Structure 1
């Protein structure tokens, strides 16, 4: 299948709902409950441990580098200390139990056991066969994990691979554009599609002063309007350049799957993601300009 067979935005449209399905467990009470049984109770520690456990018992520097938009001070308060509470393998097992419970609760038993779920898992896993490991630490770490047997967990695993593959490439695009982690969040929030300032600061460890300083830097670069806080024409163009670069870096899995498979996976992903959102997977004030 050649790249010309895919529509320009097909990669982005397909990955979006897969990203949502992956991310639902971060906001699920099931994750806190399962990690709590291991002794990990602080919300920041739960989040950091769940996402970084695939990397092994790494230090704060590796996690900050891989996550990019988390403040290092926040990461270092919980990593590597969290690994003295529970081993990464135990965290991964607890995360899998939480994902299972979350998907069953949000989607329902019928959807979890459906032929469409098995089809989505098959398509997503096929796409992930063409993911590349180079300069993609979070994808590579998750690619080393075994594929679960149950279709809904296999689908979630494949969605995670595709999500982290795109995410790792996205960081390269952000660095090439000259945006640090916080500046990337501020500009994404300004599009109306990123985390609200409330969620960006509380979950990533940044203070309001940090946010204001990043805003000032972006205004000085002509990327944010000084009066409205909206993206300028240059800012809008930069964000679209970043997304297009991310699409290019993320194209291989979807070319491998082919246009027909991508279209079908998109339909299935949207169906399951919408059901999760309707069931309350995410806080209502999570996204937007705040």
Structure 2
């Protein structure tokens, strides 16, 4: 059970509004793909896979399929481990931080990066990471072993990376416990209206329409999706169960930070995210059911 020292769902709201999207700006940043192209990695999918997995070393498709969960193993196999012959993991990690620096400067502006609010947000987010744990959390643990940057905006981005992967590792446990395979997890998330659109699922995760249709049929057979592809009451209940279980597994960082610190981090980080979104950080058709 969650210790009720925080308001209900406060950590989840802060993660969705202020932590994860700030981290995710780099996934869609032209600065990231420019940095990887300079290393010789010109394929955008290869760059994305390498960028997120590089902290784990020169891993192959099996490790990435296990730790990323919702990517097609066939898609991953087309790029890994081959990408490491072009750019080594240490080079990719360094390029990712250079891209984070360029992205945040472009989206937020130099004045915001040099502000007291940025330094405060970085300190709060790093304090939250003190409550994270490594065991059974491969992506978090790999990134937690990386050096912490000195610049406040990069310290904040580093901390959001740790918090993102810590929650993500726990989320996979919740999905497995709920009996949702990788494609079913994607489709039910999309059906909430908060997940990636089908266009982006196919473009970035490597699942073809036949596989998506088969997963949709399974979900309908379980009574989780209706004939229009909308979540049924049982489907909504299952998705809420998954999120509640993820909250439980991810409570440590935010209990450590405390209610006041979490509220302040959400305020500061949420402001940065709104600025980034207004500056075009994400594609307009990224989320939704269409």
* Shorter-chain TM band: over 0.9
SS of corresponding position for 2:78:
helix
The root-mean-square deviation of aligned C-alpha atoms, in Å, is 0.8
Give the unaligned 5+ runs of structure 2. none
**In 1, Cα distance between the equivalents of 2:188 and 2:255?**
29
1:32 alignment counterpart:
33
1:182 alignment counterpart:
183
1:234 alignment counterpart:
234
1:266 alignment counterpart:
266
SS of corresponding position for 1:288:
coil
1:214 alignment counterpart:
215
The alpha-carbon deviation at position 130 of structure 1 amounts to 0.9
SS of corresponding position for 1:200:
helix
The alpha-carbon deviation at position 3 of structure 1 amounts to 2.9
**In 1, Cα distance between the equivalents of 2:287 and 2:251?**
26
SS of corresponding position for 2:47:
helix
Alignment of 1:76-91 (within 5 A): 76-91=77-92
2:54 alignment counterpart:
53
TM-score by length of 1: 0.98
The alpha-carbon deviation at position 128 of structure 1 amounts to 0.2
The alignment of Structure 1 onto Structure 2 pairs a total of residues equal to 288
The alpha-carbon deviation at position 90 of structure 1 amounts to 0.3
Which digits, 9 at most, give the CA deviation of each residue in 1:239-283, with x for residues without a partner? Answer: 000000000000010000111001100111110111110000000
Alignment of 1:251-262 (within 5 A): 251-262=251-262
Are 2:75 and 1:69 aligned?
no
SS of corresponding position for 1:5:
coil
The alpha-carbon deviation at position 5 of structure 1 amounts to 2.0
SS of corresponding position for 1:78:
coil
SS of corresponding position for 1:4:
coil
**In 1, Cα distance between the equivalents of 2:143 and 2:56?**
8
